[in-house]
Structure 1
Amino acid sequence: MISLTTLIIIVTVLVSLAAFNKAEVFQKSLMNPYLVFHKKEYWRLIASGFIHGSYIHLGFNMFTFYFFGRVVEQVFGQVLGGSSTIVFVLFYLSAIVVSDLPVAFKRKNDIHYNSLGASGAVSAMVFASILYYPLNDICLYGIFCLPGFILGIIYVVYSYYQGRNMSDNINHEAHLYGAIYGAIFGIVVNPHSAISFIDQIKTYRIF
């Protein structure tokens, strides 16, 4: 049976490919805060999470989501049983919206600002996974590996400062808010995970 993670990846790839080939689909799906709030085009808050700026952008997001999404999906299944399907999909879709909302409110009068991609939702999945398994190594480019909780701290600090600088045309604030939302949602689904997270961290030794 196909996993929800794989199904979401398939849908995202298909929508992204359609947007690559049809400018109208791409333009209608962009998260443009001005159009969202002044023209009430609220669908953009979700649709923007299913389109990407390039094949590399799409590939990186879906590659990351594949590994971390399956972990979260499995934990949800163990904790929630049959209702995990609805909760997992709700988590992913709401993460797309929540990760973009702070910037959307901030830039709601800027008609030229656009944002796109699943990065906020993917960050939420990564941080929910880190919450559940903080000592599992996460490897960058398959070479540089660190325990998830350490890499998570670095990621949050980096996203915060890059979000303030806004020097590289990347919505780092969506990454940051997605990460925070992922950890909070993960705790709501499995409250014991907060205690387990702390207990696991206490056992960590560098050497």
Structure 2
Amino acid sequence: MPIVTILLIAVTCGVSLTALQNPRYLDMLWFEPGAVRRGEYYRLITHGFVHGDGQHLLFNMITLFFFGRAIEGFVGHFITGIGFALFYLAAIAASIVPSFINHRDDPNYRCIGASGAVSAILFGYILLAPWSTIYVFVVPVPAIVFAALYTAYGLYAQRLGETHINHSAHLWGGAFGIVFILALMPQAGTAFIHKLLQPIAGL
């Protein structure tokens, strides 16, 4: 039973829905570089529990539900369910640090959403099962192909300067997830290469 994953979804939904009804509450939780520089370090975490709208929330929580269960079980073998929760929180913070560095002097920059942590979980899963099937809007796609397209699009969109989606958080979150899984089980890297070379064995 993926208890931690369910709890993370429940807390995120509760906080997000409350914030959507209360802009003042949202203002207290979102990521804002200036506020962090003033000592409100909690925003490095709390921004991951609020979302801009129901669609944003739904997409992240569905992804977390399907892939969080697998990663929670994997991580739990090494550092327990509490360790998985700490991994999730660390992923939220790690994914936003580059944005903080790049926008530390921008008084208008804001960021919300769990996408960085969700990307960490998703890419951790892809590292372990690169030829599994991921459904993108009901279209089946090999996980490794999705990862390549997702990364390429993120880099391209970030270069174009799209500001309504924090592609940096997605990419750094994904990188954090891969590094974390490799830190827990270094042989996962060799296994990943082996599966890529033998896709049928990886299904």
Q: In the alignment, what sits opposite 1:127?
A: 123
Using structure 1 for the length normalisation, give the TM-score: 0.93
- Residue 40 (structure 1) shift: 1.2
Out of 182, 187, 190, the position equivalent to 2:185 is: 190
Q: In the alignment, what sits opposite 1:57?
A: 56
Q: In the alignment, what sits opposite 2:33?
A: 33
Deviations 1:17-36 (A, max 9, x none): 11011122100011011211
Secondary structure of the equivalent of 2:109? Answer: coil
User: How far apart, in 2, do the equivalents of 1:76 and 1:111 lie?
Assistant: 38
Q: In the alignment, what sits opposite 2:20?
A: 20
User: How far apart, in 2, do the equivalents of 1:150 and 1:111 lie?
Assistant: 38
Secondary structure of the equivalent of 1:126? Answer: helix
Structure 2 counterparts to residues 93-108 of structure 1, below 5 A: 93-108=89-104
One-letter amino acid of the structure 2 residue matched with residue 34 of structure 1: G
User: How far apart, in 1, do the equivalents of 2:104 and 2:34 lie?
Assistant: 5
Deviations 1:135-168 (A, max 9, x none): 101111112x221111101111111111121225
User: How far apart, in 1, do the equivalents of 2:2 and 2:88 lie?
Assistant: 17
Secondary structure of the equivalent of 1:146? Answer: strand
User: How far apart, in 2, do the equivalents of 1:75 and 1:142 lie?
Assistant: 26
Identity of aligned residues (%): 38
Any conservation in 2 of the 1:35–1:111 contact (CA below 8 Å)?
no
Farther-moved stretch of structure 1 (10-19 vs 159-168):
159-168
Give the length in aligned residue pairs: 200
Deviations 1:70-113 (A, max 9, x none): 11011123x31xx3212211110011011011011110111110
User: How far apart, in 2, do the equivalents of 1:14 and 1:146 lie?
Assistant: 32
User: How far apart, in 2, do the equivalents of 1:36 and 1:162 lie?
Assistant: 26
Q: CA, structure 1 residues 69+2, in 2 after alignment: closer, same or farther (shift >3 Å)? A: closer
One-letter amino acid of the structure 2 residue matched with residue 115 of structure 1: C
Secondary structure of the equivalent of 2:199? Answer: coil
Structure 1, unpaired ranges of 5+: none
Q: In the alignment, what sits opposite 2:161?
A: 166
One-letter amino acid of the structure 1 residue matched with residue 68 of structure 2: G
2:175 aligned with 1:180: yes
Any conservation in 1 of the 2:2–2:69 contact (CA below 8 Å)?
no
Any conservation in 1 of the 2:34–2:107 contact (CA below 8 Å)?
yes
User: How far apart, in 1, do the equivalents of 2:184 and 2:194 lie?
Assistant: 18
Out of 138, 142, 145, the position equivalent to 1:147 is: 142
Using structure 2 for the length normalisation, give the TM-score: 0.95
> What is the RMSD of the two structures over their aligned residues, measured on CA atoms?
1.3
Moved over 3 A (4+): none
Structure 2 counterparts to residues 65-76 of structure 1, below 5 A: 65-76=64-75
Q: In the alignment, what sits opposite 1:9?
A: 9
Q: In the alignment, what sits opposite 1:111?
A: 107
Any conservation in 2 of the 1:34–1:107 contact (CA below 8 Å)?
no
Secondary structure of the equivalent of 2:130? Answer: coil
